[in-house]
Amino acid sequence: TIEFVHQVENPKICAIELHQLNSQQPPPTPPPPSPASPPPARPPTPPPPPPSSGSASFYMNAGGGSFNDGAGNLWQADTQYVNTGRISLTNAPISGTLIDQLYQSERWDMPTNPALTYNIPLANGEYECYLHFAETYAAIVQAGQRVFSVKMEGSVVIRDMDIYAEAGERNKAVVKKIDVTVSGGSLQIEFIHNKQNPTVCGIEIHPRTTASSSIVAINVGGPNFTDGTGKLWLSDVGYYDTGFVSSTSAPTSGTIVQTILQSERYGEMTFTIPLQNGLYDIDMLFAETYAGITQAGQRKFNVKIEGSIIISNLDVFAETGGRNRALIKSERVSVNDGNLNIQFIPVVQNPMINGIEVKGVFGGAPPPPPPVDSPLAVPMFQSIYINCGSVTSTQGSGGITWKKDEFFNTGKSYSPKNIPSISGAGNSQAGTKDAFLYQSERFDDVLIDPDLIYEIPVPDGVFEVRLHFADIYSKTWQDGARVFDVLLEGVEAFSSLDIYKEVGANVALTKIANTNVKDGFLTIEFRAIVENPKINAIEVHAVGELSNHYAHAVPGGPYYQTNTLNQASVPVQMDGTFSHTHASGALLTSWVWKKTGSNQVIGTGEKPILSFPVGVHDLTLTVTDSVGDVASDVTTVTIRPFGYPDVESLTPDSGEFASGQEVIITGSGFNLVRFVSFGDKQLNGGDIQVINPTTIKVFVAPLGTTSGAVPVSVSTPLGESNAIGYTYFDGVPVSFSKGTIKTSIFGPTTLAFDQKGRLYVGTQGGDIIRFTLDDNFNVIDELTSSIVSQSEPPYRTILGIAFDPSEKNIEEPTVYVASNFLFHGLIQSFNGKINAVSGANLDKIENIITGLPISDHDHGVNGLEFDDNGNLYIQIGGNTNAGVPGELSSSGLQKEDYLSAATLVAPIKKPGFNGNVEYTSNGYLKAGIDVRVFASGQRNPFDIVFHSNGHLYATDNGPNFNFGDASLSCNSQGPDPKDKDELNLIEDGNYYGHPNRLRGQTDPRQCVYRNFDDPQGNTPAIKRLESSSNGITEFQTAHFGGQLRGQLIIGRYKGALYHVKLSSDGK
């Protein structure tokens, strides 16, 4: 038998010779076959013997080749047992398992084929059958898109199986256990179509006589107990970290172990069970016994085992159909760290659990863990922070602990006697680069010591290394006084580094490079050229498979409050609800609030009420999502002292600008009032009456000069209060109501109206949904087109829709669509497109522009807008946080491309228009491309609009804390910035402050990061906006007496709508 096993591409063979080694003569030449007597067909190779009842187990890899897993089990190919089906493969990592390879192949069944059926020869007897699934098809982006049933031995054993719904995301293992009796000499497993195509990744069969043996059974919330079979159930004391106990005497149906289900522990909690490393079956016992739960949906929670969400939105009442009914959830898990960790995470109400039983798989000793050099053994990497030269660990900003100096071979520590002030560190924009890091260092005395080397233990993989320097030694404060090389993994990363020459004395300098570790140790070497090499701090961050950057913390604020009751501390409602994650199918699971620079937790949850004394307080919010990604960001809380003026309300809060009216101001601290401000107008003396310290009467509000809101505040000798808006209107107050046009749209991203008033919505999944509305905005017709999502696998995300105003075909206009393949993992960096979709049913598609850059995270080809000449303006997101590769990129590797982080323009109506964008080997555009950069320096310009005043306006998302450093030149960087979003007036040739080092080679402006407060060398924004301000349009109608006509309407993600009034010149 000669077998060819797939690894990469298709195995092949050209010829085979056979020679008998023990023969003294060469084999005779065989005669040619007779046409009348064809050679006999070779009999089929019999399958390996199936397990008989009581014998070894059976493992089958559906759609893939044979392989041995980390536990020593041989998984056979499935070709000898199956009747039909197609094969799909992926190289995506699979969560929730140590055997990625099993889930990276699948066999699926087309509806035109017979039902996908396996016939596996088995001796008659009792078996446990495990079916392995993972949703790896990129077109499946939500629950309900693939549903099927499974029969065994002619009976339905799984009804309406939805892999995505059970896993909560793609590329996550799901295992189903079925007990089955075989009586006819083979096990038949049939997969039945419902919606989309049935699929399976693996089949595992074990005779019942070798079933799992109980290792530990825990009576959660109750005492030690021996059941009727003699099994000892232990109290949960010593296994849990927190939670509350509840018990009932009500009988429980569906189980013989009633006692276990009559006690429970509830709350957000974690159970830690010491176990030998290996493979285990976990049975979790539940019963809804709380009288307050009377229907499905009132209690839901997630269960995380060994760091992965295994059960999402578990609703015990819904699954059992009532209270006091038993539910057992069985999962197979691998333990690799000596402890089984089971975490219960609330979704609605408190999680709960009644019992836990752990069984060693198939009666033997648990299998060994995978070898340390196996990718299955690599855990999620925790970033490393080292304060070089320091003998103690120190808590820094953002809740980061900088470890004392370690992992070095030689050198000396140094701190100057007079601690210097470090420029570019320790301020609000500096992220984790605290000033204390630069006030100590390790240096290498080249006269007596070998080269300074750090050997930092890390798993094999790609890492981003951040080296922090500041020249704090006065004797090297001149160019060329200290010069050295830095090598990573033996490769020169920074040549002839001269800190003073680059930034001067006592100025922070950060150098960033990626390196590939293959021996378990990250080696950083410092080689002297002139004087002694040195280093102040080291950061190591995982890149690619070891790390994700999907979570985003948004702590809100800054917050201001006055101590009106003269309390020791003042309660403040925090708001972290804008925090989110982009991980597919994931949810945020925790919000932790700490004092910045301290490890003290002061609150948890999205909107905690926290108390603060008078003063300014820095806070850090850290969020974690359900796939384990973590992100942090900072905010401030300011508590003003007792007696400080505080405005709470205005009655009324609006009025006609042409006629004044009485206004009552309520609040506190209105003592010795100096004046009341309405915008730039100050009222005092006879214009106002201080009725008491909480009330001021304004006899006549000053006349307004135009419609719109002005800030109203109160000034006393202690200072000026907060401001509340008073809105002027021209006879008709501006007032909107909110309604719903359509619910249950998956991931709407962008919208536009055609000339007939039909509404088009683009989605994350690549669909275009067209709504025909009546005069009251009720949907009277609806059409969904998936032609964009289906145009190229695995899927496309739509982030922009536009219509050409010169379109002649009003009934069936062409829809111009910006489509992307996001989170592509550096394999589709130039896959952004502009598509033209047409036809009565939106069933025709054409590529207008291809080859546009997209990040490997969530920035891509965004908003679109036409001018009156048919030129198309395109918003392209950036690949970096502020010009330097970093955490904004999922891989951490992406630089800016030639067309990224900019507004582009394309004359698509030009005869012979060439929109097939191609690049030279050094990244520049090839000649003849009819797409160019119109305006540069925008980090993530999401939307764009041509105003009736002739100007072009766009929103731009500002940089995030801890998402990547700022470019200070074309080859140096500084601390990562954080800034608000912007409203920009887009004009040809302008640079708006976000660096692109590639374009900076010919336009030096574009190598330097500039923010709103640093207009030198760039065009400043015309207005700062709150974080995640995205959509933009012009209000063009005469409603409300025309008060809003010409104003810009800007939509904030999960937030408000803003209206922005422009100056007469539009600037």
Q: Quick: pLDDT tens for 392-425.
A: 888 776 557 788 888 898 888 888 767 677 876 5
What mean pLDDT is reported for the chain? 83
pLDDT of 34: 32
Residue 201 in contact with residue 132, Cβ under 8 Å? Answer: yes
pLDDT of 627: 64
What pairs with residue 609 in β-bridges?
573
Q: Using omega within 30 degrees of 0 as the cis cutoff, is the peptide bond preceding 43 cis?
A: no
pLDDT of 871: 94
pLDDT of 581: 75
Q: What is the average per-residue pLDDT within 54-79?
A: 81
pLDDT of 630: 74
> Residue 295 CB: number of other CB atoms within 10 A?
9
Q: What is the average per-residue pLDDT within 616-626?
A: 84
Cα 435 to Cα 416: distance, rounded to the nearest angstrom: 14
Identify which has the larger pLDDT, 827 or 110. 110
What pairs with residue 467 in β-bridges?
511, 538
Tens of pLDDT along 482-520?
999 999 988 888 999 999 999 898 888 889 887 878 787
The set of residues, in sequence order, having a beta carbon less than 8 Å from that of 26 and lying 6+ positions away, is 19
Residue 736 in contact with residue 729, Cβ under 8 Å? Answer: no
For tokens 């924004």, name the residue: 1021
* Pairing, β 675-678 against β 708-716: antiparallel
Cα 708 to Cα 774: distance, rounded to the nearest angstrom: 31
Residue 484 in contact with residue 495, Cβ under 8 Å? Answer: no
pLDDT of 28: 38
Threshold 0.75, pTM exceeds: no
> First-to-last CA distance in the chain?
79
Determine the longest span between alpha carbons in the chain, in angstroms: 127
Q: Return the percent helix, strand and coil in the chain, to nearest 5.
A: 5, 40, 50
Nearest alpha carbon to residue 430 among 473, 396, 393, 404: 396
Residue 86 in contact with residue 110, Cβ under 8 Å? Answer: yes
Residue 788 in contact with residue 798, Cβ under 8 Å? Answer: yes
What is the CA angle 109-113-119, rounded to 5?
Answer: 70
- In 85-171 the beta strands, taken as DSSP E runs, fall at 86-89, 105-108, 116-121, 125-134, 147-152, 155-161
Q: CB-based burial of residue 776 (10 Å sphere; 0-12 exposed, 13-18 middle, 19+ buried)?
A: exposed
pLDDT of 432: 38
The band of 641, judged by pLDDT with boundaries at 50, 70 and 90, is confident
pLDDT of 545: 42
Residue 248 has pLDDT above 60, yes or no: yes
Identify which has the larger pLDDT, 896 or 459. 896
What is the CA angle 109-113-117, rounded to 5?
Answer: 60
> Residue 939 CB: number of other CB atoms within 10 A?
28
Please provide residue 298's backbone torsions phi and psi, each rounded to the nearest 5 degrees: -85, -20
- Indicate the Cα dihedral angle 352, 355, 361, 364, nearest 10°: 150
Q: Is 407 left (phi over 0), alpha (psi -120 to 50) or beta?
A: left
Would you mind telling me the total number of residues written for the chain in this entry?
Answer: 1067
Residue 38 has pLDDT above 50, yes or no: no
pLDDT of 37: 31
Q: CA-CA distances (angstroms) from residue 755 to 760, 814, 952? A: 11, 11, 21
The band of 27, judged by pLDDT with boundaries at 50, 70 and 90, is very low
Residue 41 has pLDDT above 90, yes or no: no
Residue 707 has pLDDT above 70, yes or no: no
pLDDT of 45: 32
